[in-house]
Amino acid sequence: MDFTHDERTLDLVGRLEAFMTEAVLPAEPVFAEQAQAARDRGEPWTRPPVLRQLQAEARGRGLWNLFLPDAPDGTRHGAGLTNVQYAPLAEVMGRSPHIAPEACNCNAPDTGNMEVLAQFGTPEQQQRWLGPLLDGRIRSAFCMTEPDVASSDATNIRTRIRRDGDDVVVSGRKWWSTGAMDPAAELLVVMGQSADPDDEHVDRHRRQSMVLVPRDTPGVTIVRGLTAFGYDDAHHGGHAEVTFDDVRVPASNLLVGEGEGFAIAQARLGPGRVHHCMRLIGIAERALELMCRRASQRVAFGKPLAAQGVVQAQVASARIAIEQARLLVLKAAWLMDTAGNRAAHTEIQAIKVLVPSVVQQIVDDAIQVHGGAGVSADTPLAELWVAARTLRLADGPDEVHRASLARRELRRWADA
Amino acid sequence: MDFTHDERTLDLVGRLEAFMTEAVLPAEPVFAEQAQAARDRGEPWTRPPVLRQLQAEARGRGLWNLFLPDAPDGTRHGAGLTNVQYAPLAEVMGRSPHIAPEACNCNAPDTGNMEVLAQFGTPEQQQRWLGPLLDGRIRSAFCMTEPDVASSDATNIRTRIRRDGDDVVVSGRKWWSTGAMDPAAELLVVMGQSADPDDEHVDRHRRQSMVLVPRDTPGVTIVRGLTAFGYDDAHHGGHAEVTFDDVRVPASNLLVGEGEGFAIAQARLGPGRVHHCMRLIGIAERALELMCRRASQRVAFGKPLAAQGVVQAQVASARIAIEQARLLVLKAAWLMDTAGNRAAHTEIQAIKVLVPSVVQQIVDDAIQVHGGAGVSADTPLAELWVAARTLRLADGPDEVHRASLARRELRRWADA
Amino acid sequence: MDFTHDERTLDLVGRLEAFMTEAVLPAEPVFAEQAQAARDRGEPWTRPPVLRQLQAEARGRGLWNLFLPDAPDGTRHGAGLTNVQYAPLAEVMGRSPHIAPEACNCNAPDTGNMEVLAQFGTPEQQQRWLGPLLDGRIRSAFCMTEPDVASSDATNIRTRIRRDGDDVVVSGRKWWSTGAMDPAAELLVVMGQSADPDDEHVDRHRRQSMVLVPRDTPGVTIVRGLTAFGYDDAHHGGHAEVTFDDVRVPASNLLVGEGEGFAIAQARLGPGRVHHCMRLIGIAERALELMCRRASQRVAFGKPLAAQGVVQAQVASARIAIEQARLLVLKAAWLMDTAGNRAAHTEIQAIKVLVPSVVQQIVDDAIQVHGGAGVSADTPLAELWVAARTLRLADGPDEVHRASLARRELRRWADA
Amino acid sequence: MDFTHDERTLDLVGRLEAFMTEAVLPAEPVFAEQAQAARDRGEPWTRPPVLRQLQAEARGRGLWNLFLPDAPDGTRHGAGLTNVQYAPLAEVMGRSPHIAPEACNCNAPDTGNMEVLAQFGTPEQQQRWLGPLLDGRIRSAFCMTEPDVASSDATNIRTRIRRDGDDVVVSGRKWWSTGAMDPAAELLVVMGQSADPDDEHVDRHRRQSMVLVPRDTPGVTIVRGLTAFGYDDAHHGGHAEVTFDDVRVPASNLLVGEGEGFAIAQARLGPGRVHHCMRLIGIAERALELMCRRASQRVAFGKPLAAQGVVQAQVASARIAIEQARLLVLKAAWLMDTAGNRAAHTEIQAIKVLVPSVVQQIVDDAIQVHGGAGVSADTPLAELWVAARTLRLADGPDEVHRASLARRELRRWADA
């Protein structure tokens, strides 16, 4: 048993922390100003230009595409790190979650899309889409969730992907397609049903397909941007509602083939959850730091807030919760690396359920210590809170994962 | 012991519910559209015009100024209801908290300002400000909270109100002055220190004064609107940061006199908290209704969400929490009516601490049942959540009230 | 709306509080000593003699059989109080829950058995059993719960009550028959299936009967006393496991008649829950008082525990929780009095779910403030905690009631 | 980063699990019967004889004194395992916490006393006490907590250890001296003040001494056994209140020397907490197993409890909580092994605060699933619950550790 990171990881963490201190954190107010300026001139759905500078800086520092493991055949597109090696880097980036991941080309949903292309894409698909994504020249979106059904159950999905000669035709309505409001998001990765959802002859998990749809294909309509608790996340391309109205693309745009959608989605989930959770741990560390600083400086009723027992209890609970949550994420990452994603099933579900709730509570406490400043835009806390809260829903609500994890646990003893 | 409302109250509740069903709830989408249109044409900080129509309608139905009790001398400015009589009306209005209270001229902070003017204002002050406010022709703001100090401790306040001949001169910085972004908010009620805050010869609670400052007085600067979790509440005049730079008004604008500010503020708090809490109960009922409807309609994994034990547990917990919270608010109101605000001290603090947390949790559960729709603007839930969350901070954070309530309880037994 | 108790109630509360202060609380150590002495001489399952003295004292003070409302035909067996009138008395008795209720002949399960006999018993049944019970000469037990089935679902019950000529024959196994270890518990009220539990021609709620079984009937075996967290409650007749092995009693011992058992049980539940919950409120008040006293006296790290923010937060939370829980119990009692038990269904279930949990938490906090003394027998806290904890299971676990309450709430909106 | 245990550990875990399955779990009912028989014949405070057989068996299997690391000078008294190696063994023993640890001579407080003797004892002290303890021939108690002061603050301790020529004289009152009711507990390790507690010239943490007192020394009075929630833990020597009335022992019985008591106590705490926490993890696993088995077997309302969403949520929460708590304990153990107890300060406090609460909740949920059986002695759950609950108080209440941990965290950022 050994809780230390290896040298390569420690080196990267050190360099990434320097990048955060020297470049990313100072850029936060610039980013906010540029986002507001873009909004004021009627172009809200674009990345603030400071991101380009930070990306150049990150590349120069060797902090680019850190997330991408080597392909099974050994091909290296990114940094070639394992999940355990990447985890602490994701945490550090999570301390400024609206800037740092994109500065290092490590932001969702592009990371997931790049992983899928690297793992499952044909050479042609990789050339057309993976290259520009790895290079940060374009962005992408993942179109999975639908407004009309409980999408946490993938077999519920109603978007159709119908074969028609050498083409496939996509019809349906998606929402929460993060990033898709930005014209730079040239690629939409779309999940849909390619078999009749009620055809009992086809296995329920073999009815879905995943297809690459250029955003400018006729029939694609970007309907509107959604808000999450008042935030439109415009500076990152927002969260789009998108309709697909008989959208025709070549069948060669299918990933792997018809009926493979569910399997690809599953492969995408494990690393994605580790990334999300580690970024959330970074959010929690940021919130705890802000809470401590504020508590030390703010005086009420004759003493600093830091001297109040209730604040101390919150600080302690936050530290304890962070420490154990981080270990469980690392354990999940380690299991994925050493035993495979399937062996890490329980741990992956556990962190999916656990970490957003824990971090939401820590940020909430930090807000409370900040008073009115905490809910305002003068601190990052309110926006960080929303990031944690929405992840209790994204990729399936807690309730679904908890029930699934429980059934597995119950089975262990039912047989015994 | 009798848990029934009297006939006048039941009659008003019935008429108010009809007004909600027939006018207010149908106006919600109109209100949202008009607010967006105002924003699009660069005039965000104004009330959507549909409010005027609803106000006319409310007046016609006899649902106007319901909040205002008769003055101690018997003067009737409003409906002349007791706290117990008004409470269920505030709850009903709380089901559409961004529209109904203002439609009935019962919205904070105007209600508190009108109460103060009715109770403490000179005839001249009443004529100039109270009349137009009761008539709904102007709005007002209450400038209490300051960014630089823990304002839950009123003795911390740093804004100065300095006597200079027949004038007083106001200097300081305030924020979270709700409504003050709207030019219609012609009156600012400002709290400040009129004695040296460190002068030990003056009682700590006799150093504050409250003064009426017209919003257009030279030296008043409306700096910016604040957001709460991404919402700027622009359609209600937002939440302003305001600076007072040697702002000079006649000394006759003081309320009651120098050193009376703290006492006036205290008088304002009791009813204000009952109003807030009853509106929150209305928010909780709205959220519970939405949760139940959604749970009955939405199917996942082969059955409606309503059939899931976890959802049932949330529904039951919500109902139980609402029932007992409502009773405690009513008890506080009843004590205020029958024994005075001071006798209701514990109950008022109790509901201040209790109700926002309880309602926040209920709305959070309702959001979870709605999935992505819950955090978006397609349901009112996210905005209702923010209303509950911010009330854990407004008028002093929970922690302060809990400690104060506890000290009183502990004293009971320390002497024994 | 009126939150005051009527004069008769206030008078009784005053006299009962005097009885508590002057007689019951001073008797607590005597009771403990006598219970230990009985154990030491090998007669654990008997009431300590001090109870007899307290009963005489209570009778003399007019504090006897307070729980029993008048019969529908106006017959008065007890004090003839309504539920609302009795509720605050049950609370006061709850402050010493192992002594005061029995001192006033108001202890479960005798109260429920007396109510059933008063309401449903024949004159013969009343003469033989109700009289001695009202007089405190004998005790009784209620044999409902069974070890082999989830007894919260009464249709699960497996004990058979079979008609055989003029007799009925009882066979089955019961446990948690509170009080039945004491030979003075001459009467066992037994619930069983009188119809085939799988006979679809008989309504599921018409298959049960309730029968009066003298404890000394051949075939009745008192198997053993159960413990709850190490307490055997021996001084109150313990909690028995009882087997019925072809136990034959005259059919005239049936209450009302065959198939009426479920209906009688339901009638018994409403008042029983109000009693339990009000006694629990009394437990909570006792715990809060002890917590406050200890916190004021105990010094750690240079200041009394009462000065610690975390303790203050617990004190405040306890006070807030008690106030609202009490109101909801009173509301339930008032609804039962004014609109009937059926109309109070939601409130009765709500308090059943709510109050034990709330009180458990308060007692747990009080224990924590007491350190090692809190879990020992040197304070009543550990035993009070067990009383609250077990009531989360008795009369059906929280989960069952929460689900039932939720389904009713969901139905309101499903139809809408 | 590596989450696997080394081979020696895995081998020991395997053999220990076999011992549990083949010997310990089958002995549980025997143990209970023998304990009851001892009580019935008036000798409650003795170990049931089955323990001796299990000890012989454990020795034969090489599962004896597993807890004891090698001394700094390399001397091996026990198994010579590191904290990380021992941790999973303590967890396995924790599944039967009243039998397995003592069967393997790994039970508190003997373990702590043996560690102290091995690390700090003179050869004479080791020969007289350590040998017999390692051999399981005698037992011992640790007399630290006092009824009259908040003993979590060691500087509060009031027992005096006064030098008198070649002797020291001990005077004071202790309680919660676990094991001391058993005459086999021949050694009492006593902590007291050897300097005037108000003498400012002596450092507050240099005023305490620790001394070895034979239980039969004149002046030692074993006053009584205490109960924890009704359990007297008699089968393990109970929890004694002990008075020391001018108890005279040779000064050579001091451990290390005067003024060293605090430092020795601190050295004792780290491993002790890891042991406690790992045993608690074992308790949680046992409770979760029982909960799952019961949920699969018990049917209510037409389906097994395991099919209910609320039960599933509890199962999932338990699994998630266990996984992360175990990792944090292992991290603390690893830090102690690799960087020393001081470097592990935060982690040790974190697990002290975290694990008892988490396990208490899991056992409480398991009890609820079991209904009445859960609180009775028919399952081990009630007694396991008490073990978890009391550890929220033992070695200092959560509140103290949380505040201390928080202050360290706050300091990190106050300086920044």
- pLDDT tens for C237-269 read 999 999 999 999 999 999 999 999 999 998 888
d(CA A170, CA A247): 5
Cα(A304)–Cα(B370) distance, integer angstroms: 41
C89-125 pLDDT tens trace:
999 999 999 999 999 999 999 999 999 999 999 999 9
Residue B407, number of CB atoms within 10 A of its CB: 15
pLDDT at B51: 97
Q: Rounded to an integer, what distance in angstroms lies between the CA atom of residue A100 and that of residue A58?
A: 9
CB-nearest to B386 from A152, A229, A308 is: A229
DSSP secondary structure, D16-75, as one string: HHHHIIIIIHHHHHHHHHHHHHHHHTT-TTS--THHHHHHHHHHHTT-SSTT-PPPTT--
Decide if D300 touches B, using CB distance below 8 A.
no
Distances in Å between the Cα of D366 and the Cα atoms of A354, C379, D293, D359, D374 are 20, 27, 10, 10, 7
> pLDDT per residue over D195-249, tens digit each?
876 777 888 889 999 999 999 999 999 999 999 999 999 989 999 999 999 999 9
> Per residue in B230-263, pLDDT tens?
999 998 999 999 999 999 999 999 999 999 999 9
Mapped onto helix, strand or coil, the DSSP state of residue C135 is: coil
Count of C-beta atoms within a 10 Å radius of residue C299 = 15
Between A147, A374, A377, which is nearest B373 by CB?
Answer: A147
For chain D, give the percent of residues with pLDDT over 70: 99
Tell me the shortest Cα–Cα distance from B309 to chain D, in angstroms: 4
Residue D75 pLDDT more than 90? no
Contact flag B376-A156 (C-beta cutoff 8 Å): no
- Minimal Cα–Cα distance from B177 to chain A, Å? 11
Above 90 in pLDDT, residue A153? no
Question: DSSP assignment, residue C340?
Answer: -
Angle at C366 between CA C360 and CA C367, to 5 degrees: 90
Q: Which two tokens stand for residue D22?
A: 């083949």
- Is residue C176 within 8 angstroms of chain D, CB to CB? yes
What is the distance between the alpha carbons of residues A106 and A87, in angstroms, rounded to a whole number? 12
Question: Exposure of A350 by Cβ count < 10 A (0-12 exposed, 13-18 middle, 19+ buried)?
Answer: buried
Contacts of residue A48, defined as CB under 8 A and 6 or more positions apart, other chains included, come to A30, A31, A34, A35, A38, A235
A142 — contact with chain B (CB < 8 Å)?
Answer: no
Dig out the tokens for C81 from the structure. Answer: 């109080």
Residue B49 predicted with pLDDT over 70: yes
Residue of B nearest to C355 (CA): B320
Closest-CA residue in chain B for C307?
B407
> Would you state the pLDDT for residue B15?
98
Q: Does C406 touch chain D (CB under 8 A)?
A: no
* Concatenated DSSP letters of C144-211: ---TTS-TTSGGG---EEEEETTEEEEEEEEEEEETTTSTTEEEEEEEEE-S-TT-TTS-TTSSEEEE
DSSP state of C319: H
Query: Is A220 strand, coil or helix?
Result: strand
- Tens of pLDDT, residue by residue over C190-237, are 999 998 767 778 888 899 999 999 999 999 999 999 999 999 999 899
* Burial classification of residue D342, based on how many CB atoms lie within 10 Å of its CB (0-12 exposed, 13-18 middle, 19 or more buried): exposed
Hey, is the C-beta of D315 within 8 angstroms of any chain B C-beta? no
- pLDDT attached to residue A416: 58
The number of CA neighbours under 13 Å toward the Cβ of D263 is 11
The pLDDT assigned to D201 comes to: 83
Mutate to test the interface with D, among C145, C363, C399, C402 (most CBs of D within 10 A): C399
Mutate to test the interface with B, among A399, A400, A405, A407 (most CBs of B within 10 A): A399
Sign of CA dihedral A147, A152, A156, A160: positive
Task: Report the complex ipTM.
Answer: 0.96
- Of C343, C359, C341, which Cα lies nearest the Cα of C398? C359
Q: In C298-380, which residue ranges form alpha helices assigned H by DSSP?
A: 309-339, 345-370, 372-375
3-state secondary structure (DSSP) of residue B296: helix
User: If we measure between CA atoms, which residue out of B213, B197, B202, B206 comes closest to residue B258?
Assistant: B206
Residue to mutate among C278, C311, C324, C346, with most B CBs inside 10 A, is C324
Averaged pLDDT for residues B109-115? 96
**Is C334's Cβ below 8 Å from some Cβ in B?**
yes
Q: If you measure CA to CA, which chain C residue comes closest to A314?
A: C310
User: For D351-397, how does the pLDDT look when each residue is reduced to its tens digit (9 = 90+)?
Assistant: 999 999 999 999 999 999 999 999 999 999 999 999 999 999 988 88
B311: chain D residues, CB-CB within 8 Å: 309
In the structure, what pLDDT confidence band is assigned to residue C161 with cuts at 50, 70 and 90? very high
Q: CA C226, CA C222: separation in Å to the nearest integer?
A: 11
Interface test with C, best of D177, D299, D376 (most C CBs within 10 A): D376
**Would you call A313 and D402 a contact, using CB atoms and an 8 Å cutoff?**
yes
Q: Could you give the dihedral angle defined by the CA atoms of residues A139, A145, A147 and A150, in that order, rounded to the nearest 10 degrees?
A: -170
Give how far A398 is from chain B: nearest CA, Å: 9
Chains that touch A (3 or more CB pairs under 8 A): B, C, D
Percent of chain B with pLDDT over 90: 86
Domains of chain D: 7-121 (1.10.540.10), 139-254 (2.40.110.10), 262-414 (1.20.140.10)
Tens digit of each residue's pLDDT (9 = 90 or more) over A221-277: 999 999 999 999 998 999 999 999 999 999 999 999 999 999 999 888 888 999 999
Q: Do A409 and D288 touch (CB under 8 A)?
A: yes
pLDDT digits (tens, 9 = 90+) for A368-394: 999 999 999 999 999 999 999 999 998
Q: What are the tens digits of pLDDT across the range D36-69?
A: 999 989 899 989 999 999 999 999 999 999 999 9
The minimum CA-CA distance between D287 and chain B, rounded to whole Å, is 22
pLDDT per residue over B332-383, tens digit each?
999 999 999 889 999 999 999 999 999 999 999 999 999 999 999 999 999 9
Q: Which of B375, B400, B405 to mutate: most A Cβ within 10 Å? A: B375
Residues D55, D59, D65, D67, CA torsion sign: negative
* CB within 8 Å: B308 and D309: yes
Q: How far is B302 from chain D (nearest CA, A)?
A: 14
Hey, is the C-beta of A313 within 8 angstroms of any chain D C-beta? yes
Q: Is the pTM of this model over 0.90?
A: yes
Residue of B nearest to A231 (CA): B230
CB-CB contact of D140 with D179 (8 Å): yes
Beta-carbon contacts of residue D160 (< 8 Å; ≥ 6 apart): D169, D170, D171, D172, D192, D193, D194
